[in-house]
Structure 1
Amino acid sequence: MYDGLVGIGLEISKTLLSDYQATVLVLGDVSMPPQQDWDTWVATHDPKEDISVKIDGFKELAELGGIFLAPMPHDNDVTQLSEIVAKAEKQYGRFNGVIHCSGGSANGHVRAVNKASHELTERDFITVPYALMALDSVFEKRDLDFRLVMSSLGSILGGILFVSYGSSNCLAASFAEYSNAFKPYRWNVQCWDSWDIEWKIVDYKNTTLHDNITDRLRAIALTVDEGLDCFHRSLAYNSRYHITISSTDLQARIDKWVNKQTMEGFKADTSKTQKRHPRPAISTDFSEPINALEKTLASAFEKLLDIDAVGRHDNFFELGGHSLLATQLITELRSTLNADMAISDVLESPTVEKLGMILQAENNVAAEIEPV
């Protein structure tokens, strides 16, 4: 089990130990510190930090028995990994299967594109597709009952804040498909929607997502019982090597996020002349925009949200905005203001005032102060 210490992977590991009395060798990802340093790590780091969560996950598994941990070699070194596997095989017996879990959990992978540094992006690729390639090489000549990749629905739908997470999962799934075409064994790829367990470990409140978005996503997440039921059912499809598990209509989501059909429909609606809705009751009092830039931003809010008046302190998401409309807002502002803006700008600064400050600070546009 590679990286089965958090989220979906943790629940699968618990199931293997408790329901099947399996002996499980867990390969921790390359970023985990040596086991003797865990207490120091936990004492000096945020409990929701990725490594802290994985340490707690192993301790939970250890109470069930039959669990053994080995560090994943740095840079997924195949020679070192082969030695680890051979040693475990000699000590515990023949391997029956291998599960690659790193792509199944969003913990530690959620970030906006403008915060996707080379270091963090490289880590996503090391822990997801490159680790899978190493496992494939090491277990290539072993007769296993199953080879399983726990991937993410993000490899199909993409998603805001999933720039490197989605692409790294996409590469992992593509590699598995390539391997299946040319090798005598098969990798089963499962592309998972989020489970509610993810919302207990991923600190989405600090990832720029507004409560309106997180509440909407949390409501459609799979429960652990639903997820485990899907897991058992998916293994029964021997003729299917790539299975997608979505909690809602998958084609509707593909049409919305990939084919952009909803976006096209929205554009057509905004061209119509019609009476707009009154400003809803929200947490802030109405305050007029104070300059030409803020007036332009407020006008864009009003047009997209179909509201007759937007104040400078009004929150885009409290007014009824969502991630898809935020994407459209960025497109509109890029055209209107010739500004280099990212979706994360709206997520992090969802008011007319704050967006105006970002634009002025970055010298994207000039704001002329006008009396109101």
Structure 2
Amino acid sequence: MIDVTKSDHYQRLLNDLKRDGCAIDCIVHAFNLDGSSEESWSYDPAAMDKSLYSVLYLVQALGDRMPGHPITLNLLARHVALVLDGDKVCPERAVLTGISRVIPHEFANVTCRVLDVGDQATRPGRVGSWEEDIARDVVSESMDAQVAWRGSQRWIRIFEQVTPGNGTAPSVLRERGVYFVTGGLGGIGMAIAEHLAQAVQARLVLVSRRVMPPRANWASIIDAATDNELCTLIRRIERMETLGAEVLLACADIADQDQVREATLAAVGRFGAIHGVIHAAGVAGDSMITTKTRSSVAAVLRPKVDGTVELARAMQVFEPEFFVLCSSMSAVNGGVGQYDYAAANAFQDAFAVRMDGVGRTHYVSIGWAAWKEVGMAANMRLPAYLLAEKEQQLKSAIGTDEGVRALMAILADPLPHWIVSPRDLAGTLEAARPNSGLTGAVSRPLTPTNVQPRQELTTTYIEPDNQIEEVLVGVWQELLSIDRVGVADNFFELGGDSILIIRLHTMMRNQLPELMREVPLKLLFEHPTVAGIGAVLAERYEALHYAGEVKKMRETTLIMEVGEI
């Protein structure tokens, strides 16, 4: 018996299994099969204990107690997805779809799947039992990341490319409409507000946690020019007003019920109504699963989960025409360090599906890929060794004008969940599938047809000078298809990314199994050069060698003592 809210219970469980010599190959996590989703749903934070936090503690324990051992983790739950008419989605459980896409990115030995068991599976009169269906699915070698069972039918999740609004739908924006924008002083929120100002001379409520100085001081602030970021914000707001918009600034924590109520009442008191809501507030996740804590996860969830719930509750009385949730593609393609962020966005996607059609408000969640000029991806501060990867990703990101046009088209369409990607989504998701061919020879062989010369880098080429570095250079060259790699070359500057680094970790484990045993993926991010990670492995080699010599000395001493007797 374990308490799902206690992280040490999972550690003790795995310790006991390891002590008894039990090797785990398959785990069925079934804490979310209980109960049913009522017709009228209300957010229950405690439900996250059985989904988000329970899986976090389990995976952390697996990383500590059974690193490297191949494991299939099956997350069973009810009410994860809307598949058939009558299905009810529970957003607190839908977070499983987001985290299931992140876990294999950070633990190359773990395959993670979500199995959604609908109420239809347990209805009287069906042939066979749902338990048998699930059991067969669990032990199968299926690579389907998300499965839904409805009766005896097995559904899988796919995405279809469509044109929102069929390309011809009229705008849903009102001339001089009142639009409430959270994250209103942030990159994407401000870009959307500027479009609303120009297109319909909107009356805008820009909500942010940032405290802006009184308007009476703006001219002197611009004249002083000591804070470039603040001066830019002021100029952009003033430009919107010159276009005919009215702007009300509201400082509020969107997850605080009282502050949200105060902001909405101020908006209605000033403008008389709220015609649309754009929730663009968010905080990015930036740490590996092994280092996350309940409080750090809760901080990422706060604006997107608690903020979404509080904002929707406050807006019920005003019945805006639309309620847009700015979600992220991380909910469907995961990524290293995105456990909490992917969960928060998966919650928003499910929230829109659950709430759309309940009242007069059209709820829609948009899973954005990275925006090129604004937003979290563009403004995220990263360590030097990740800058090359960021620059590479932003080359194919969404332009601001493209993003705004996509939003306007989506608003004219009745679907509640969209993904906006500048690249082929199927190909992007397949490339992001971390356990796709990660065992054995996972990389491209070096042949004259695909090998590339080493490009000019910020570092000088340096040859390896020991056996460990020679092995590592060979692995890097094979993975990246580069004719030569220097020991000081940064993996990300060479063209590597957060997907390829997972493969690199697996290949290194195959080539150096003893040295790489229990070496976590995060060390490759911290030491992204052959020389850096090679030094770490050299220290491990010395420690292992010393331990071996000590063992031999003890055995020799024992033999000598026995001989003397």
**How far apart, in 1, do the equivalents of 2:292 and 2:273 lie?**
40
Change (3 A) 1:364 1:145: farther
Tell me if 1:252 matches 2:427.
yes
For residues 333-372 of structure 1, the aligned pairs below 5 Å read 333-334=508-509, 336=513, 337-343=516-522, 345-359=523-537, 366=543
Task: Supply the AA of the counterpart residue of 1:21.
Answer: Q
More helix by share: 1
Q: Secondary structure at the match of 1:198?
A: coil
Change (3 A) 1:256 1:365: farther
Change (3 A) 1:323 1:102: same
Unaligned 5+ runs, structure 1: none
Tell me if 1:6 matches 2:186.
yes
For residues 116-195 of structure 1, the aligned pairs below 5 Å read 121-180=297-356, 185-195=361-371
Residue of 10, 17, 37 corresponding to 2:197 = 17
**How far apart, in 2, do the equivalents of 1:207 and 1:63 lie?**
35
**Conserved 8 A contact 1:111-1:207:** no
More strand by share: 2
Task: Supply the AA of the counterpart residue of 1:23.
Answer: R
**How far apart, in 2, do the equivalents of 1:365 and 1:72 lie?**
55
**Conserved 8 A contact 1:210-1:347:** no
Where does residue 372 of structure 2 map in the other structure?
A: 196
Q: Once the 2 structures are TM-superposed, how far is the Cα of residue 13 of structure 1 from its aligned partner?
A: 0.6
**Conserved 8 A contact 2:205-2:250:** yes
Tell me if 1:100 matches 2:279.
yes
Change (3 A) 1:2 1:173: same
**How far apart, in 1, do the equivalents of 2:265 and 2:184 lie?**
20
Q: Secondary structure at the match of 1:69?
A: strand
Q: Once the 2 structures are TM-superposed, how far is the Cα of residue 357 of structure 1 from its aligned partner?
A: 3.3
Task: Supply the AA of the counterpart residue of 2:318.
Answer: R
Change (3 A) 1:181 1:296: farther
Range with greater deviation from structure 2 (332-341 or 13-22): 332-341
**Conserved 8 A contact 2:285-2:338:** yes
Change (3 A) 1:3 1:166: same
Task: Supply the AA of the counterpart residue of 2:263.
Answer: I
**Conserved 8 A contact 1:204-1:214:** no
Tell me if 1:88 matches 2:267.
yes
Task: Supply the AA of the counterpart residue of 1:28.
Answer: S
Change (3 A) 1:3 1:315: closer
Q: Once the 2 structures are TM-superposed, how far is the Cα of residue 132 of structure 1 from its aligned partner?
A: 0.8
**Conserved 8 A contact 2:256-2:307:** no
Change (3 A) 1:16 1:281: closer
**How far apart, in 1, do the equivalents of 2:412 and 2:261 lie?**
30
Where does residue 280 of structure 1 map in the other structure?
A: 454
Range with greater deviation from structure 2 (140-149 or 319-328): 319-328
| TM-score of the pair, normalised by structure 1 | 0.78
Deviations 1:291-336 (A, max 9, x none): 4443443333234234565442233344443432211012233452
State the identity as a percent: 23
Change (3 A) 1:215 1:91: closer
The number of equivalent residue pairs is 349
Where does residue 464 of structure 2 map in the other structure?
A: 289
Q: Once the 2 structures are TM-superposed, how far is the Cα of residue 165 of structure 1 from its aligned partner?
A: 2.8
**How far apart, in 2, do the equivalents of 1:368 and 1:353 lie?**
20
**Conserved 8 A contact 1:100-1:149:** yes
Task: Supply the AA of the counterpart residue of 2:464.
Answer: P
Residue of 220, 228, 243 corresponding to 2:418 = 243
Range with greater deviation from structure 2 (280-289 or 187-196): 280-289
Q: Secondary structure at the match of 1:228?
A: helix
Q: Once the 2 structures are TM-superposed, how far is the Cα of residue 117 of structure 1 from its aligned partner?
A: 6.5
Deviations 1:227-272 (A, max 9, x none): 222122111212x1111111010111111113754x45x9556497
For residues 310-349 of structure 1, the aligned pairs below 5 Å read 310-334=485-509, 336=513, 337-343=516-522, 345-349=523-527
Residue of 384, 387, 394 corresponding to 1:218 = 394
**How far apart, in 1, do the equivalents of 2:452 and 2:369 lie?**
36
Change (3 A) 1:309 1:368: farther
Q: Once the 2 structures are TM-superposed, how far is the Cα of residue 164 of structure 1 from its aligned partner?
A: 3.2
Task: Supply the AA of the counterpart residue of 2:421.
Answer: S
Q: Once the 2 structures are TM-superposed, how far is the Cα of residue 88 of structure 1 from its aligned partner?
A: 2.7
**How far apart, in 1, do the equivalents of 2:509 and 2:441 lie?**
19
**How far apart, in 1, do the equivalents of 2:416 and 2:371 lie?**
22
Change (3 A) 1:365 1:321: farther
Q: Once the 2 structures are TM-superposed, how far is the Cα of residue 99 of structure 1 from its aligned partner?
A: 1.2
**Conserved 8 A contact 2:279-2:325:** yes
Q: Once the 2 structures are TM-superposed, how far is the Cα of residue 96 of structure 1 from its aligned partner?
A: 1.0
Q: Once the 2 structures are TM-superposed, how far is the Cα of residue 102 of structure 1 from its aligned partner?
A: 1.6
Unaligned 5+ runs, structure 2: 1-180, 547-565
Tell me if 1:26 matches 2:206.
yes
Q: Once the 2 structures are TM-superposed, how far is the Cα of residue 138 of structure 1 from its aligned partner?
A: 0.7
Deviations 1:266-294 (A, max 9, x none): 95564979689586354445434334443
Change (3 A) 1:270 1:358: same
Residue of 405, 412, 420 corresponding to 1:229 = 405
**How far apart, in 2, do the equivalents of 1:109 and 1:46 lie?**
25
Q: Once the 2 structures are TM-superposed, how far is the Cα of residue 366 of structure 1 from its aligned partner?
A: 4.0
Q: Once the 2 structures are TM-superposed, how far is the Cα of residue 218 of structure 1 from its aligned partner?
A: 2.0
Task: Supply the AA of the counterpart residue of 2:374.
Answer: E
Task: Supply the AA of the counterpart residue of 1:354.
Answer: G
Q: Is the radius of gyration larger for structure 1 or structure 2?
A: 2
